[in-house]
Amino acid sequence: MKLCLLDADYIDENNKSIIRLFCKDTNGKPVVALDYNFEPYFYILPKQGKENEVKKRVEKIKEIKIKKAEIIERIIGGEKRKFVKVFCFLSTDVPKIRDIVKEWEKERGVPGIVEEEYEYSISYYKRYLIDKQIDGMGWIEVEVEEIKGNYQADKILKIKKIKPIESDEIPELKLMAFDIECVKEDGKQKIVMLSMKSKNFEKVLTYRKDKHYGKFVEVINDEKELIEKFVEIINKENPDILLGYNSDLFDMQVIQQRADELKVDLTLSRDFSKLKFARRARISAARFKGRIHIDLFEFINNILSPQLQTEVLTLDDVSAELLGDKKIEIEYEEILESWRKGKDLAKLAEYCLKDSELTLRLGEFILPQIFQLSRLSGQLPFDVSRMTYSQLVEWYLSKRAFAMNYIIPNQPKWEEIQTRREVSPYVGGYVKEPIAGLHEDIAVMDFRSLYPSLMVTYNVSPEMLNCSCCRKDRYEIPETNYWFCKKRKGFISSVVEDLIKRRNEIKNKMKELKKGSEGWKRLDNEQWVCKILANSSYGYYAFAGSKWYCRECALSLAALGRFFINKIINAAKENGFIVLYADTDSCFVKLKAS
């Protein structure tokens, strides 16, 4: 059976952690597939020659029962080392057993036998995606047996075997956008209207009458019934994706608060569980199990904003730029006045529905990019839509690390992050002040993917820095005392090289298709994803919270960038050009007047 993965999580039952995959089948029907066979685990790096001793001691742990331990080989710091891989029954046992191992070093009279523990903090469902090399919005082939379960799905399946398969297809997905309008009464935000919009459905719920309402308005009794009706419609219409704009920080927060006070159960998930907020860095994201909640504002703010002309990321401004359409103009004071006096409520309903319409159209425009990022990074659309550039790079590297037998480094602790932030900044790219005035007949020279190309060419990867095997013939970095290995290929430099090659292959395929066709658009999104991950890998080295942090690598790439742009400037001058301006990876020149 072939399935497309939309969402994933896990549950604990009978002293076992079970992976749940929420999918769509080839007929577009929702399916839930459960994997009982995947075992949580983490790695212990013993001191040289202490592998068997560590394994035996792990097996004697009494506080929490482990499933098994085995000695395996993985790559860390550019060299192969022996690790003890510890398998657990429950995913929650992983950090507990790791803490027990950590305590060994504090015992009196016990010689140190452990260097470090690794991969103990990776979320269980993300661990599964990495190990199985399956991707959000990617296709899988499964051998299954049908079982019973309480889910909003056509079939409940138990996985016997699973493997990823290549497919460009995107299943037919049902999208629904929503929006709320609130007024402050008695010191509380109260929901006065709630709109929903999908391809063949539109509705505004409210509890005040107006004879001018359109057919899309349904008047109910009160705010409690409004929220109950919202839940009822979501479960009846059963959208795969629920779209909001700033819904994590506003709409869903208000709906949750009002539902709690009015004692309404927000059972919006496909397993009939209640709405939960999952912590994502600085924000809490509203999550439904098996139904993807996408807050478009988060993705636009984190990923798309540098490409937009507008600096104001309101629904109105973003829709105007991307869709050529705007919200209905109405101020908050007018909303307040309209609701309190019961005047112009029909206009308010149209305003509310228009917000859902714009959100839906933005979703249709942006989701293909989110889906391609999910497929490349290996993460779920729910998570990807809330990630920053650095997080996307990190999860892609994590996926590739497993495939290439590398250990994923630990997340730095808060103190380490603070220390990194306190280091003085290094010199960045070279910028030449422009020659003022109007100029004609300008030629522009631009480096294609400058920093990723330098990373590949000079093998700029943390474990290759100042290697001991290349004392004479090596990649030397100008203006520094750093060099990189010429004999062995680094992990990150090889991953970025693969991204560049993949992007070039995609762009060649695009030349064979009609520009603007569906196939061309899909490939265009795919090459864009390769580009942003490759370009972001440079900044990732200097990101204080990075697992693969390496200030020396970032500094080296900046030095190489300055070296080559200055080389171009000098060559242009020697050949009779006037250099008007230069900025990091491009140079603007013109011929001297004869």
Low-confidence ranges of the chain (pLDDT < 50): none
CATH architecture classification, 411-591: Alpha-Beta Complex (3.90)
**For residue 287, what are the β-bridge partners?**
276
Residue written as token pair 């009846």: 236
Residue written as token pair 């509203």: 286
Q: Where do the structural domains in the chain lie, given as residue ranges? A: 1-167, 175-368, 411-591
Q: Per the structure block, which two tokens stand in for 155?
A: 């079939």
Question: How does DSSP classify residue 410?
Answer: P
Task: Give CA separation, 255 vs 277, 293, 359, in Å.
Answer: 12, 14, 18
Q: Name, in order, each residue with C-beta under 8 angstroms of 262's C-beta and a sequence gap of 6 or more.
A: 223, 224, 227
**Class for domain 175-368, per CATH?**
alpha beta
CB 338 within 8 A of CB 352: no
Task: Give the pLDDT score at 594.
Answer: 52
- Helices in 378-434 by DSSP H: which ranges? 381-384, 389-403, 414-422
Largest CA distance in the chain: 87
- Output the CA angle 491-6-4, nearest 5 degrees: 85
Q: Per the structure block, which two tokens stand in for 25?
A: 């089948």
Q: 278 φ, ψ to 5°?
A: -100, 130
Task: Give the pLDDT score at 426.
Answer: 87
Residue written as token pair 């507990």: 96
Question: How does DSSP classify residue 426?
Answer: P
Strand order in the sheet with 66-76: 66-76, 79-88, 41-46, 114-118
Q: Which residues of 473-494 are buried (b: 16+ CB within 10 A; e: fewer)?
A: ebbebeeeebbbbbebebbbbb
pTM of the model: 0.94
Q: Name, in order, each residue with C-beta under 8 angstroms of 339's C-beta and a sequence gap of 6 or more.
A: 183, 192, 208, 345, 348
Task: Give the pLDDT score at 470.
Answer: 85
Other beta carbons less than 10 A from residue 397's beta carbon = 24
Question: Does the domain made of 1-167 have the CATH classification 3.30.230.70?
Answer: no
- Output the CA angle 350-314-320, nearest 5 degrees: 70
Task: Give the closest residue to 446 by CA, choosing from 576, 305, 573, 564.
Answer: 564
CB 366 within 8 A of CB 296: yes
175-368 and 411-591, same CATH topology: no
SS (H, E, C) 234-248: HHHHCCCEEEECCHH
Other beta carbons less than 10 A from residue 583's beta carbon = 14
